[in-house]
Amino acid sequence: MTITDHRFLKGAPVAARIIEETREAALKAAAEGWPPQLVSVTVGDVDAVDVYVRNQRRKAEQAAIRFEEKRFPESISQVELVEAITAMNADPRVTGIIVQRPVPAHISIKQLQSAIDPSKDVEGMHPASIGNIVYNELDLAPCTAAASVELLKATGLDLKGLEVVIVGHSEIVGKPIAFLLMSEGATVTVCHHMTRSVAAHARRADALFVAVGKPRLIKADMVKPGAAVIDIGINAETGPDGAQKIVGDVDTDSVREIASWITPVPGGVGPVTVAILLRNTMVALNRQRAAQAPEGAATRTQEPA
């Protein structure tokens, strides 16, 4: 499928805008003695993780943010890993910390997220970061959720009063999207595995978000004509010839004939998610500056870690 249809809501242009804005802010902060630094934590050797890290490093360079990768052996204990994160929390040269997934089975990703200082939680995964969204403190929201909302905003639709349906209610995607959109004045319905008729709800939506991990779950007859469809799913599907390809949670070929906008998979939410990670790094830096030098008088010159 060639992504040339105007109905495709591509992530690259939105990501490029965010990265350019972030670059300007990062260069200004560095000139003032506050160079931003993002630290990536990888546990074990996973090829897929290496791909993500390389992409994050490349985009960080574009955004003028220093990127450092810290690799730990698969055999490391939970306690040792938490101690390492605690040391990064205390290091003033570290602006933000991201823990790459997956991690080995004996490591609790939730505990690692909780160990990160909320002021350095650029993924927006700390319980405090999630909780702050309820109180409309939205600037450090989970990256995928924030990226999805950013794409909806790119349509130009007025979010006030917009009828939004979210299929999927995870703590880091579905629920944060709901709170982010409610803060914009949207009317939000969240569907999950106990919802009696997902299709009935989905057909009402002016904007439909889908994040359940089920390939091609949403068909054309489940979408309101003219709707915006934000497909957050990433699934590996094996074709008749045995070849694998990445597909979303939406049956794109049929739904794009109904929707006014639809995000491609890949190439939709993914690029914007990385851009949001970098934007969050600058949000974190500004918070740290405010905490250490509330009047803006002091500067901090960092040496490489």
pLDDT at residue 43 greater than cutoff 60: yes
Quote the CA–CA distance of 261 and 207 in Å, as a whole number.
Answer: 9
Torsion 284-288-290-291 (CA) sign: positive
Per-residue pLDDT at 305? 42
| pLDDT per residue as tens digits for the range 276-291 | 999 999 999 999 999 9
Q: Which of 185, 201, 207 is nearest to 263 (CA)?
A: 207
Q: Which of 206, 219, 129 is nearest to 166 (CA)?
A: 206
Model-level pTM?
0.92
| pLDDT per residue as tens digits for the range 78-117 | 999 999 999 999 999 999 999 999 999 999 999 999 999 9
Element housing 40 (H / E) = strand 37-43
Tally Cβ neighbours within 10 Å of residue 41. 20
Q: Is residue 258 helix, strand or coil?
A: coil
Contacts of 241 (CB under 8 A, 6+ apart): none
| pLDDT per residue as tens digits for the range 111-126 | 999 999 999 999 999 9
Contacts of 177 (CB under 8 A, 6+ apart): 145, 148, 149, 166, 209, 211
Q: Is residue 298 helix, strand or coil?
A: coil
Q: Which of 85, 119, 118 is nearest to 99 (CA)?
A: 85
Quote the CA–CA distance of 136 and 26 in Å, as a whole number.
Answer: 25
pLDDT-derived band at 242 (thresholds 50, 70, 90) equals confident
Reported as half-sphere exposure (CB side, CA atoms, 13 A), residue 161 has a value of 1
pLDDT at residue 298 greater than cutoff 90: no
Quote the CA–CA distance of 246 and 235 in Å, as a whole number.
Answer: 5
Length of the chain as a residue count: 305
Per-residue pLDDT at 156? 97
Q: Which two tokens stand for residue 117?
A: 């200082």
- Which backbone phi and psi does 286 adopt, to 5 degrees? -65, -35
**What integer best gives the mean pLDDT of the chain?**
93
Do 235 and 246 touch, CB atoms closer than 8 A? yes
pLDDT at residue 240 greater than cutoff 90: no
